[in-house]
Amino acid sequence: MLIDIHTHILTTWGEEPFTEEHLIKRMEELGIDKFVILPIIGPEGSYLYFGPEDVTRVYKKYPDRVIPFCNIDPRSGSNSPDTDFSFLIDRYKKEGCRGVGEITANMYIDDPKCINLFRQCGKAELPVLFHLYNKIGGSYGLVDDIYLPRLEKVLKKCPETIFIGHAMAFWSEISADVSENTRGKYPKGPVKAPGRLQKLLKKYPNLYGDLSAGSGFNAITRDITYGYKFLREFHKKLLFGTDICHIGQEAPIVDYFKQIKQQGILTDEEYDNITYKNAKRILKL
């Protein structure tokens, strides 16, 4: 079984919209049984809007395949660290949503407004999937400094909230030689020493890693031997995903895991945890 923790429907992407029909067909082609659809909201993603209501509409059409997430911008409501999101979170939970994200607001991850939202998500038992960027301005995503000090602050302040990390500034921290020049990119070369990410995964039970997109796939394949070791060590903290979101997009992680299965790189338990069991557990499926 495969559960994809990260997909999108982007109706204004490129020359041809990537519709729900395209997504369903692509998931069938890839042999993915169930998949999370993540809404895109907020000014940073304004050209690619696909809201929580859109996701729950698709979920009602394909309830056996789709796992709906809602999304809330930390600045919405009153743009305050005291905004009460509970009525909105409760509404989305009743509609079937199993998590919140992908959070893409371009603000520091430990901003009081973010902490406020994260704590309310934790209280509602909804995991938070976030995109991590390396600077304020220029793109989308919550922001941290090198070596992830702000993320650690968040993990301490929100122990009841499950966090699922994604994107370059998150995954580049798999290697101790991360630099300001590489952490917003796709670093290459061997992982000579484990990075800050592994320390956080070990220390905080509420942190998980989303293996989707070029960022997650690069992290586990830049050094194949270490990548296998990493998967074995953190098999209870990692989630399979593709980040499929446009027509013609490749998903090399699917064949990668097929090869791992065929070659016996992971035990059945390790493989199953990453490909579906961890998702079932934290999303309460």
The per-residue pLDDT for range 85-140, each reduced to its tens digit, is 999 999 999 999 999 999 999 999 999 999 999 999 999 999 999 999 999 999 99
Determine phi and psi for 164, rounding to 5 degrees: -120, 110
Please enumerate in sequence order all residues whose Cβ is within 8 A of that of 269, keeping only pairs 6 or more positions apart, or say none.
Answer: 235
Tally Cβ neighbours within 10 Å of residue 45: 21
In the chain, how many domains are there? Answer: 1
Cα-Cα end-to-end distance for the chain: 14
> pTM (2 decimals)?
0.97
Instruction: Quick: pLDDT tens for 154-171.
Output: 999 999 999 999 999 999
For residue 13, the model assigns a pLDDT of 55
- The CATH number linked to 101 is 3.20.20.140
Determine phi and psi for 189, rounding to 5 degrees: 95, 170
Q: Structural domain of residue 208, as residue ranges?
A: 3-282
